[in-house]
Amino acid sequence: MSNTTFTATVLGFPRVGPNRELKRATESYWAGRTNAQALHAVAKELRTAQLTAALDAGLDSVPVGTFSYYDQVLDTAVLLGALPQRVSGIADELDRYFAAARGNAEVAPLEMTKWFDTNYHYLVPELAADTAFALHPEKPLAELQEALALGVPARPVVVGPVTFLKLAKSVDGSDLLDRLPDLIPLYERLLGLLAEAGAEWVQLDEPSLVTDLTEAELAAVRGTYRRLSEVTVRPAILVAAYFGRLGVALPALAETGIDGIAVDLVAGGDADVAAARSITDKLIVAGVIDGHNIWRADPDHALPRLTELRDAGVAVAVSSSCSLLHVPYGLAPETDLDQRLRGWLAFGDEKLAEIRVLATALTEGESAVADQLEIARTAVADRGADPRLRVDSVRERLDDLDAAATRRAPADERRVLQQERLNLPLLPTTTIGSYPQTGRIRVARAEFRRGEIDRAEYDTRMRAEIAEVIALQEEIGLDVLVHGEPERNDMVQYFAEQLDGFAATVNGWVQSYGTRCVRPPIVYGDVARPAVMTVEWITYAQSLTAKPVKGMLTGPVTILAWSFIRDDQPLADTARQIALAIRDETVDLEAAGIGVVQVDEPALRELLPLRRADQAAYLDWAVEAFRLATAGVADATQIHTHLCYSEFGEVIGAIHGLDADVTSIEAARSHMEVLDDLNAIGFDLGVGPGVYDIHSPRVPGAEEVRKSLELALKAVPAERLWVNPDCGLKTRSTAEVTASLRNLVAAAQALR
């Protein structure tokens, strides 16, 4: 083992700034209001503050280079000279970088996709058999030097070669792992440069190792890290894998000459602890503090695992399970939180302190930190004892449900009843829910937040928006209308604010992608719906038109996926509770005369477990939760759902299982292939493949929409085909939306 070692660290830091300073600085650079120098200055200040905080917290090895202007995978593509050809003509380095990230008038951006099972999205590098790699180590070297100058025991962090290739998209269909031999020399050179610059450790992130690996991939892992560990002048190598159990990849790494392995003992669990016990020639960086969730750790859970490893003769450091990128900066601004709940939480700053305490307990004995351990134990016990975590009425209702609660009449019987009630034309037209977020809506929201207008005035303004959206849809000639969702700033937060068992933060921002941040609500207790949530808005909209207006709800899986979840009970149990609350709302909407209710599940695929062996069980409970949420209404009430992503592969069967009368899906960009996939599994319900790509400002012509529909009609009989855009319209302008929807309606009418 390397002669340098450490005891307390994290795997990475958030970077948008405690008050989203980087977001503001970047957006003002994009808007041309400030120059690059100003942006770099803000970035440097944020990094310096972060490094200082890490030193103050007592970390004895500190990750550097997890800062990014947009995304760490894009940074790795830059490091390896692997940006796509189409941006190479942009002379300015920063502008080239941002063009790859978000496109510009001339070039399309890289695709974006989810980073493992988090809500962070990375940019997908585009590689081919002939991509020429070249090392551009300026960023890691500069950030290393900056940290060393501050006296920080800096550990540069770079995405490892296996994960980089596994996450990239092969634009020519070639097997990208074949490119490892071309990448390894670049990493070898990088190791040398980092050592020369004074790095004692380097962290190579390989989260792909927690997914199912083929024999060939495992061999590639072994080969890669054998080679890298043979570099003569290099820092000690820490390979970090997170978001799950390493399984067979752990012994594979252990066989190589690397110096440390970071294991995620929160998501990975006891199997990896057992396997790590025999790794006595490397530092095991034990991720016992959850980097992916916001609960304070139970020392009586973490410490036994740490001591078990130490007592087996393993050198152990205490760490977060993954980068702190996925949690908010700190609890300090959260003064409005329920005081009791606040005591159970640990955001980024608090996690640093927890790591220090555990590391001290491990090296000096528990008595050295007896007070802090006592506080932690008291908080954990307090959480366990809070009656809001076990609400009998919620649990009894769930226990009393039988199979009938998730079952409706057969789909074709429902279709007849619904058609009698709704009397829709062939190829009915509709939209997905939201309409453009107008300047008026934003102003009203801001004035309400600042207390300049009261609730009644705010509601009046929202009603005016609804009336306008209804009038617009009538005028365009759509068949099933929506109220436009002006009252919702976020489709999960809006419901979380109204449900028992949820809490919202004021400043708990987490990066979603680039400068976009979200503030996930926290599910802490049993979930119930104390009062109706949407009925007034929807019935108001319905009162303005003779056409049916869809009630609009967010589904249980999506609410879970975009929240910080309970870690004290199975996800499936929380899903069922949320489902029951949504079910109550569907029943109340129906009782108020609403004949169509849409329950959105855009995140159904996001929660899919990383390992294939875990996926079937997930899909079972996810489908069951959706059905529980939607099967409480009469057969004549039409249930819609909306799923928005293009790769349906593993979830196609589940889409059928949802048993929604109508499913709208993204297809505008994937050319209707999804319809063939649905046919292949005998899908026999209503389907609305998106025929208007709302991610683009382009207005589709009526002829183009008609062609898409003709294509769709080859796969789906007209009786089951719906006509709609591929997602909500909230990011588009009213002018674009109006023109596009007119063409959409014209195309449907022409075909009828």
For residues 324 and 727, which CB has a smaller minimum distance to Zn ion in the complex?
727
For residues 68 and 434, which CB has a smaller minimum distance to ligand GLN in the complex?
434
For residues 243 and 722, which CB has a smaller minimum distance to Zn ion in the complex?
722
Site size toward Zn ion, by CB under 5 A: 3
Is position 741 an interface residue for ligand GLN (rule: CB under 6 A)? no
Q: Do the annotations mark residue 590 as ligand-binding?
A: no
For residue 730, the partner it binds in ligand GLN, Zn ion, none, with Cβ less than 5 to 8 A by kind, is ligand GLN
Q: Which of 57, 127, 220, 552 binds ligand GLN (CB under 6 A)?
A: 552
Give the DSSP H/E element, type plus range, for residue 274: helix 270-276
For residue 434, the partner it binds in Zn ion, ligand GLN, none, with Cβ less than 5 to 8 A by kind, is ligand GLN
- Among the listed ranges 233-241, 461-469, 672-680, 727-735, the one in contact with ligand GLN (CB under 6 A) is 727-735
Q: Do the annotations mark residue 322 as ligand-binding?
A: no
Is position 727 an interface residue for Zn ion (rule: CB under 5 A)? yes
CB of 622 to Zn ion, least distance (A): 17
Question: Interface mask (CB under 6 A) for ligand GLN, residues 309-348, using x and -?
Answer: ----------------------------------------
3-state helix, strand, coil in the chain (%, to 5): 45, 15, 40
Give the DSSP H/E element, type plus range, for residue 536: helix 535-543
CB of 381 to ligand GLN, least distance (A): 39
Q: The tokens 């090392």 sit on which residue? A: 135
Give the DSSP H/E element, type plus range, for residue 84: none
Is position 730 an interface residue for ligand GLN (rule: CB under 6 A)? yes
Does 695 qualify as catalytic in the annotation? yes
The C-alpha atoms of residue 459 and residue 293 are separated, in whole angstroms, by 35
Is position 168 an interface residue for Zn ion (rule: CB under 5 A)? no
Give the DSSP H/E element, type plus range, for residue 18: none
Token pair for 653: 């069967």
Is position 556 an interface residue for ligand GLN (rule: CB under 6 A)? no
- 654 close to 626: Cβ distance less than 8 angstroms: no
CB of 723 to Zn ion, least distance (A): 16
- 658 close to 626: Cβ distance less than 8 angstroms: yes
Angle subtended at Cα 543 by Cα 553 and Cα 429, rounded to the nearest 5 degrees:
60
Mention every residue, 6+ apart, whose C-beta is less than 8 A from residue 343: 296, 379, 382, 383
Identify the CA nearest to 129 among candidates 74, 54, 181, 90: 181
Token pair for 146: 């900056």
Q: Which of 727, 737, 744, 745 binds ligand GLN (CB under 6 A)?
A: 727
For residues 305 and 730, which CB has a smaller minimum distance to ligand GLN in the complex?
730
Is position 644 an interface residue for Zn ion (rule: CB under 5 A)? yes
- Among the listed ranges 110-118, 307-315, 652-660, 725-733, the one in contact with ligand GLN (CB under 6 A) is 725-733
Is position 603 an interface residue for Zn ion (rule: CB under 5 A)? no
Give the CB-side neighbour count of residue 27, counting CA atoms within 13 A. 10
The C-alpha atoms of residue 378 and residue 389 are separated, in whole angstroms, by 16
The C-alpha atoms of residue 76 and residue 265 are separated, in whole angstroms, by 26
Mention every residue, 6+ apart, whose C-beta is less than 8 A from residue 185: none
The C-alpha atoms of residue 626 and residue 578 are separated, in whole angstroms, by 10
Is position 482 an interface residue for Zn ion (rule: CB under 5 A)? no
Is position 740 an interface residue for ligand GLN (rule: CB under 6 A)? no
Question: Interface mask (CB under 6 A) for ligand GLN, residues 418-457, using x and -?
Answer: --------------xxx-----------------------
For residues 687 and 727, which CB has a smaller minimum distance to Zn ion in the complex?
727
- 257 close to 230: Cβ distance less than 8 angstroms: yes
Strand, coil or helix: what is 684?
Answer: coil
Q: The tokens 């949320």 sit on which residue? A: 578
Is position 668 an interface residue for Zn ion (rule: CB under 5 A)? no
- Residues assigned a catalytic role: 695
Q: Provide the binding-site residues for ligand GLN, judged by CB under 6 A.
A: 432-434, 485, 491, 552, 600, 602, 642, 644, 727-728, 730
Task: Indicate the annotated binding residues.
Answer: 20-23, 114, 432-434, 485, 516-517, 562, 600, 606, 642, 644, 666, 727
